[in-house]
Amino acid sequence: MRVIVLGAGLLGVTSAYFLRQQGHDVTVIDRQATPGAETSFANGGQVSVSHAEPWANPGAPAKLLQWLGREDAPLLFRLRADMRQWVWGLQFLRECTPARTRHNIAHIVRLGTYSRSTLQALRRDLGLEYDQRTQGILHFYTSQKEFDAAEAPARQMRELGCERQVISADEAVRLEPALAHIRPQLAGATYTAEDESGDANRFARELAARCVADGVQFRMGEHITALRLDDGQRRECSAVVNAAGAWARPVAQWLGIDLPVFGKRRTVFHFTCPEALPGCPLLIDPSGIWLRPEGTGFIAGYAPPEDADPDDAPLDPDHAAFEDHVWPTLAERIPAFEALRLRSTWAGYYEMNAFDHNAILGLHPACDNLYFANGFSGHGLQQCPAVGRGLAELILTGRWQTLDLEPLAFQRLLDNRPLLERNVI
């Protein structure tokens, strides 16, 4: 079978790899000169299986009532006379029952644990090196209420094989001594030792090189117009994979399909610190700021409030956010960062699924050979190994094989069944 993959980011490259392993004739097409040069270029590279609690949970309705009218609310909901909004809202409330919450967490955790093990197998079997770090993820809390609320989902995740441990403030400081300064403010933390991070761009480039060695064709620097390339060539194929990241929506519109995926600008800040923090895990602050080691320094980022987060904003780094928000918060938490030195900044797009912040996979009823792999909303490196293999199996056999990914199928959008993700940073 001849398969064309649109997009040479994490999802495109991993899909191409597994398709080629099944013997397909695979061509990857991308407008950039090198793989992984868009969303995958300088993102956080988190493999955070422990971030599996959906927004639709038993505590969400009460929080939504408290947040109504607040422009700075984590989940912004503006009531209006729109039947679609009310239908969506009723479906959201249905997903907030304890049983549905456990069901949805189970799906997200199974995908995450399977994908993480597949990523580790790729790393081992192919000898991939992408500055991977396996010090785990430490998520600390300054609110006792929020910390207490983390216990139940953490327990369920452990039952499903994700060892998200609930630890005391003292244990958090032992794991990362740099937090000693704010020990009085800490209510506790969760720590998942098996979660990872790494250089997503380097992973994409290394795996792409293996694909080329196995016979996958990469047509880089090409702009697609209905699969007729700039040089006039027409590319015939049996199947197409839409892995175009933040540009997946225009591809879907070629067939009149409404794909609710938009580019959300995120700025990554690279800096150094005169004081070493050996063994530092990936840290997640209650404000949503994340931080992890990168080479001899660190990278950090955050998600801006919704009213300051337009779709498809110009890709200019948000320097003011670093000066006004990110740096002061980091310095407050870890005094050594008062003397940090900003080295570089980069802005790129999250491919954000506006429907429920989770991936949209598989076929749409309107077309029987266009496969979607879109809307990962920050989970690209974490989920691309499982999704790449799953799509290859779906294209070959007509159904999901190793792992049932049907809960993430396009059909849930048509049925208005959101699987809302809570931990998008």
pLDDT of residue 59: 72
Mean pLDDT of the chain: 87
pLDDT of residue 64 exceeding 80, the answer is no
Listed by start position, the domains of the chain span: 2-54+101-414, 60-96
Q: CA 29 to CA 128: how far, in whole Å? A: 23
pTM of the full structure: 0.82
pLDDT of residue 41: 75
pLDDT of residue 254: 84
Q: Token digits for 135? A: 């010090």
Q: Token digits for 129? A: 């090196």
pLDDT of residue 155: 92
Segment 199-226, tens digit of pLDDT: 999 999 999 999 999 999 999 987 655 5
Segment (H or E) for 405 = none
Widest CA span in the chain: 66
* Average pLDDT, integer, range 250-263: 91
Three-state DSSP at 25 gives strand
pLDDT of residue 85 exceeding 80, the answer is no
pLDDT of residue 74: 56
User: How many C-beta atoms lie closer than 10 Å to residue 204's C-beta?
Assistant: 28
pLDDT of residue 291: 93
Q: CA 371 to CA 358: how far, in whole Å? A: 16
**376, 383 Cβ separation under 8 angstroms:** yes
Segment 311-351, tens digit of pLDDT: 888 889 999 999 999 999 999 999 999 999 999 999 988 89
pLDDT of residue 40 exceeding 60, the answer is yes
**391, 371 Cβ separation under 8 angstroms:** yes
Angle between helices 98-126 and 380-397 (to 10 degrees): 90
Segment 281-296, tens digit of pLDDT: 999 998 889 999 988 8
Q: How confident is the model at residue 37 (pLDDT cuts 50, 70, 90)?
A: confident
C-alpha 346, offset from chain centre: 17
Q: CA 374 to CA 263: how far, in whole Å? A: 11
pLDDT of residue 364 exceeding 80, the answer is yes
pLDDT of residue 423: 53
Q: How confident is the model at residue 127 (pLDDT cuts 50, 70, 90)?
A: very high
pLDDT of residue 36: 86
pLDDT of residue 354: 87
pLDDT of residue 357: 85
Angle between helices 10-21 and 380-397 (to 10 degrees): 40
Q: Token digits for 49? A: 């299986």
- Dump the DSSP string for 243-270: --GGGHHHHHHTTT----EEEEEEEEEE
pLDDT of residue 280 exceeding 70, the answer is yes
CATH superfamily of 2-54+101-414: FAD/NAD(P)-binding domain (3.50.50.60)
Q: How confident is the model at residue 367 (pLDDT cuts 50, 70, 90)?
A: confident
**303, 266 Cβ separation under 8 angstroms:** yes
